[in-house]
Each structure stands twice: as C-alpha cells, then as structure tokens.
Amino acid sequence: MSDSTRPPIAAKRPVSSTYHGITLTDDYAWLRDPGYPEVTDAEILAHVEAENAYFEAQMAPHQARVDALFKEMRARIKEDDATVPQKDGDFEYWSEFEEGGQYRKFYRRPAGTDEKHLILDCPALAEGLEYFKLGALSVSEDGRYLAYSTDTTGGEFFTGFIKDLESGALLPDRIENVNTDLVWAAGDSVIVYGRANEQWRVDRIFAHRVGEMSEDIELYHEAQLGFTASPGLSSNREWLMIGAGDNETSEVWLLPASDPFATPLLVKARQTGVEYDVDVRDDTLFVLTNDTHVNFRLATAPLSAPAEWTPLIEGSDEFYITGFDLFRDFYTVEGRLAGLDQIQIRYYDDPARVESIDFPQDTFTAGLGNNPEWAMEKLRLHYQSPITPDTVYDYDVASRALEVLKVQEVPSGFDPDLYTVERLHITARDGAEVPVSVMYRKDRPAGGPLHLYAYGAYGYAVPPGFSVTRLSLVDRGVAYAIAHIRGGDDLGREWYLAGKMQARTNTFNDFVDVARGLVAMGYTAAGKISASGGSAGGELMGAVINQAPELWGAIVAHVPFVDVLNTMLDESLPLTPGEWPEWGNPIESREMFELIRSYSPYDQVRAQAYPPMLVTAGLNDPRVTYWEPAKWVAKLRELKTDDNVLLLKTNMGAGHGGKSGRFEGLRETAEEVAFVLWQLGVEG
C-alpha cells in the first residue's frame, strides 16, 4: 500500500526513438495505456490514484479553507438564476437553474404569453451520473421536435436524441458519436450532423432521417488528414453549409436546406493559409476572409459565381474583423480596435453608413448574444468588464438605444467602487508592447502578491470580463492581471501569428516579461506572483517555470499540454494532424522538431529549483491526454532540486473541462484558490 504522505515516485523505463538522426529517450512513456481511450492498466491506475491520494493528503490541512472559499464563492452566485427569454418563431426560449441545481432546465412559452413549458430537464438526465454535459440543442423549424446530444464520460463522444415536444416522448432515434451541432433540414425531416471517428476527428457529415432506424446517409467525407468538417445553416435558414478546415485553411460547400441530398456547390477551393466563412442573403454570398489582408475583409459574390469575391469592407491594419452576422434589413460586423471589442451595424443599401455601439470603459468585453430570427429589430448583446457584472442588453437598431434587460446579480454583494482596473502596456524583450489588464482593491498595499493569467494560443483573446471567483483572491489583497500575450489575437491577427509556429517562443517570453515588468512597476515582487493557465495555457506554465522559476510563488497548470514534441510526433492521437499548422510538423521538418524540442516543457525539465505547483488532468480527456501531466509531474519529481510541494489531481470520471455541474466545478476552483493563498502566505 502506498504512503499518501510521500510523493509518488514513478518507475523509470526508458523508451527510445529516433527522428532526423536525433534520439529521444522517454523514461515515463509507460504511463500511456496502450488501450487508450480505455485506461485499464492496473499499474498505471495505481500510480494515478497514488497521486490523487497524495493530493488529498497535502490538501487535507487546508480543507477548512477550501470549504470556506467554496461557501464564499457559492454565495456570490444567484442559484435560482435564469437567462433572458429570446423569441425564435412562435416561441420564446430560456433556461433556468433551480436553487441548488447543478444543471440547467430549458423552457419555452408561446410568444407573448406566460405559458411555461419544460422542454429539457438536464438535472433529470444527469441524475446518478458522475459526469454529464449537454452538447447540441436545436428545435425544429416547426417547433415540434427538440434534438439534443449528451456526453456522460467527459470523452466528448456525444449521443444525439430527438424529443417530441407535443407528447414529451423520446423518439427511438439514437445518433451516435456526434461532435457538432444538430442541424434541421428538409422540412424538419432530416438532421444533419458530424460524426467523430475513433480518433475523435469529425471527418464525415451525415443526414439522419427523423423517426427512421435505417443507416444514416453520408453527405460529405473529408479526406485530408488534419481537416475536420461541421454543418451549419445560413442566417435566412435557406442554405445548409458544410465547412471543412484546419487551423489555417478552410473550404465551404452549400446545399439547399430543403434538399440536403442535392449536389453541393463549392464556394471556393481550399488554398493553404486562406480562411473564409460565408453566409447568404437572397442571391448574394457574403464572405469573411483573410485572402488579401491578415486582419480579414468582407466580400460579396453572386451565388451563380461564388468564387468571384468583390470587396465590401477592405481589410485594415487598425480594425480586426472577427465575425459578421446577416439579418433581413442590416448586417453586423464584430471586431477589435486597439484590442477592445467593437460592434458595428451596417446597411445593404448604404455601404458608407456605419453605426458603432459605444462602450464606456477602458477595458471590457462585449459581443452579440443569441439573435436567431432573420427579421430582428432589436439585437441581444452582452457587456462586462473586470468590475462590471455581465449585463444583457437589447439594442434597438432603429433608435440606436440600449435597454438593460438583466445585470448579473451577486447575492452576497459587490461594490465596484472598492476596485481599480487599469490597462497597462509592458515592453517585451523584442520591443513589442504587450497589453495587460489589472484589477486590484484600492486599499491593497503596493508591491503585494499578484496572480497572472494568460492563454496565448490559437488566436484566442482572453476577454477582460467579470468573475465572481476572482474576487476571492482580489479581496485578500492579491492583484489579478491578464497578460494579453502573443499567440492570442488580442491586437489583431498579426498578434496571433507572432506567437505560433517559428515564433512560438514569443508567447512564453511575453509572459515572463510581463511578470518582470509588473515587478519593475511596483505592482508586486519576484516570488510573490502566482500564475495559472489551462491546456495550451498549461504549456505556457511549463515553459515559463523552465525559463524563470524564481519569479513564481505558485503555479496552477490545468490539463497542461506539456508533452508537445511526443504528441506532435504521434499522428494517431486525436488532435495531432489538425494541430500541425499551429505548432509545426516535427515528423516532416527537422527545423520544427528542434524548435518544439527546445521549448516543450516535458523535454526541457532539468535539475533546478521549481515553484510550488498544482497540476490537474482528466482520465477521459481526448484533447490533452492524461499521461502528459502524469509524465511531466513524474519527471519534475525526479529532477527538481527544491522541497516545494508538487501536486497532481486527476479527475477519474471527467475530461478536458474537469468535473461537470456548476458546484462541482466551483469546488475545484476553491481548491485552486486555497492552494495559491497557501503558497503565497496570504491569510484570511
């Protein structure tokens, strides 16, 4: 029996492989179960469970604080909360949490009435399950049927169901291995969806005939390794759209929604590095693409010649277009200007007319919400900032007036006047100016502890939004900072490109330089900084502790992508081929092999002091497999020269997102905050 008071020590069983004349030796490769995604190897499970026991033993003295933090965080959440109803056709739809409920219930009512009807009861569906996640949710055009999908393992293989909303009964249909939206077509007689294969890749689009148990009909097969496919509908619901692509290239096919079995119309053949997205109004195709400008442009084309794109909004160095939506009488363009969200209303008959929706603060996040109807007159949108709870508006397009529909309630109280929010710019080592959003209490002593967060990959811009859980740090004197580092597209597409492939190390350098800049500016001190990141942000954590371990007082790495080289060398893994455009292909390119090896956190662990660390994993995670954090922690235990605590917690019945249910996830957040406060020596 293992001693849970001592850190587990994994056996070393070297496995060697050679690429480009370079031999790699992996002492901990045995932690990967050869039967994955089934994990049944008794020795592997025993090691993972020993790590969990060690985590529990080390956190046991701090359980009272975890409980107090959980209670505090839960008190900031309105438990019997509901979304604002939104009209779609003959009905208005919304969802609710009941008091103490872990999962939502979904409702509708005939528009303009108070006749409340429960259409999906997720608490009932989740009853008795260790894990439950709702995937797609889609009501048929005539309002009779509800199609939905669920995952009960965390492995992200969803099963689709169809419910008759008139009788309340489930149809016998079962749609297996769904991993896309469920799209109604052919007069509500067909559901179009994408099916995940054994490698968790969606390479085929099928049509399922409602109420029939016959084999589903394949509409599209994506043959290119690394490309995935997904279905959607045009805004006017007249066209079925099948998109295919990877992280840098895309292609779209169109089919009449009334006849998904017709011959598909190719918009434009794929061209490496060119991304595009489309929508349709009447006989005109609208295309958002980066073909002539890195920050994208909006173009149009006749449906009769869909590849002949005519400029509508030219690409701009200043305004980065991130999306557009078509409506009957106008269209919207979303983007970012100087890193801040923008929403524009534009008109088909007057291209020069541009109406921007203005927001008052220096750092915020804003965007369109659910606007399902073609003839919208009021647009639903959301706005928040680090000190502004999520606010739901309706924007009257004709009068240009904003109407507040709902402000996120904090039952235990929240006073924005207690806090300061700043937008800083810190110069990185190569001269780049990195934006940083900082929040702290006005009564916080200068130079105190600070928590630094970032993601830095896939062009994802971390929004400077509101968080009730963040207050548990900030109210104890810990400043909270978001580093808008390269790898995200916070300052435009170039900002993203400057943190990927050959430029990947800019992401790690930016984070370290932001930390050092915050020290130099007097916000904190070396050793008083905690940091966290998940998935690719977990890779960031691994890289920065190798580069500058002295800066960090605590590190939290959630499902960290740290075994980058081995994963990118294994094309049998679910995501690898589709990830090569993001990280590089080390199988084909010696240059990328050597670059990835030079920063891959697992490969770069060495004999030095490391900060205290909490690492998480999910046994069923198809995105970052459980063995990546397990191997990383094993190697850190072997080589680190310090006595700082190193914890690994693996969710045995969950995947990439951790435990399901809003309060189970909240308890894990309380554990994270308790760990950070413990290591930073913060009382209270």
**Shared domain check, 136 and 70:** no
Give the highest mean pLDDT range of 33-42, 336-345, 535-544.
Answer: 535-544
**Shared domain check, 262 and 333:** no
Beta carbons within 8 Å of 333's beta carbon, 6+ residues apart: 298, 313, 321, 323, 324, 343, 344, 346
**Shared domain check, 486 and 546:** yes
Q: Identify whether 137 is part of a domain.
A: yes
Domain boundary among 375, 408, 441: 408
pLDDT at residue number 309: 98
Neighbours of 266 (CB within 10 A): 12
pLDDT of 1 higher than 50: no
pLDDT at residue number 112: 92
Active site members: 535, 621, 656
**Shared domain check, 423 and 368:** no
pLDDT at residue number 2: 57
pLDDT at residue number 224: 94
**Shared domain check, 327 and 474:** no
Domain boundary among 356, 381, 408: 408
Q: CA geometry: angle at 535 spanning 617 and 272, to 5°? A: 140
Tokens of 622: 């198809």
Q: Identify whether 565 is part of a domain.
A: yes
Q: Identify whether 96 is part of a domain.
A: no
Percent of the chain exceeding pLDDT 90 equals: 92
Beta strands 190-196; 183-185: pairing state = antiparallel
- CATH number assigned to the domain comprising residue 144: 2.130.10.120
Euclidean distance between CA atoms 402 and 307, whole angstroms: 38
DSSP per residue, 582-619:
HH--TTT-HHHHHHHHHH-HHHH--SS----EEEEEET
Q: Identify whether 314 is part of a domain.
A: no
Q: Identify whether 113 is part of a domain.
A: no
Q: Identify whether 203 is part of a domain.
A: yes
C-alpha R_g of the chain: 25
Q: Using DSSP, state whether 120 is helix, strand or coil.
A: strand
pLDDT of 655 higher than 90: no
**Shared domain check, 180 and 45:** no
Question: What is the tens place of the pLDDT at every residue in 211-261?
Answer: 887 899 999 999 999 999 999 999 999 999 999 999 999 999 999 999 999
Q: Using DSSP, state whether 639 is helix, strand or coil.
A: helix
- Band the pLDDT of 359: cuts 50, 70, 90: confident
Domain boundary among 392, 408, 424: 408
Euclidean distance between CA atoms 475 and 453, whole angstroms: 17
Q: Higher pLDDT residue, 473 or 4?
A: 473
pLDDT at residue number 494: 97
Say how many domains are in the chain.
3
**Shared domain check, 430 and 403:** no
**Shared domain check, 59 and 22:** yes
Residue-range definition of the domain harbouring residue 395: 319-408
Q: At 494, which helix (H) or strand (E)? A: helix 493-497
pLDDT of 560 higher than 60: yes
Tokens of 72: 């505090």
Q: Identify whether 48 is part of a domain.
A: yes
CA dist list (Å): 677 to 62, 548, 595, 666: 10, 21, 36, 16
pLDDT of 360 higher than 80: no
Euclidean distance between CA atoms 221 and 662, whole angstroms: 37
**Shared domain check, 560 and 420:** yes
**Shared domain check, 246 and 343:** no
pLDDT at residue number 526: 97
Neighbours of 563 (CB within 10 A): 29
DSSP per residue, 353-379:
EEEEPP--SSS-EEEE-----TT-SEE
**Shared domain check, 666 and 519:** yes
- Measured in whole angstroms, the distance separating CA 264 from the mean position of its chain's CA atoms is 31
User: What is the average per-residue pLDDT within 312-323?
Assistant: 97
Tokens of 28: 């901990």
**Shared domain check, 176 and 144:** yes
Q: Identify whether 124 is part of a domain.
A: no
User: What is the average per-residue pLDDT within 266-281?
Assistant: 98
pLDDT of 656 higher than 80: no
Q: At 440, which helix (H) or strand (E)? A: strand 433-441
Question: What is the tens place of the pLDDT at every residue in 413-434?
Answer: 999 999 999 999 999 999 999 9
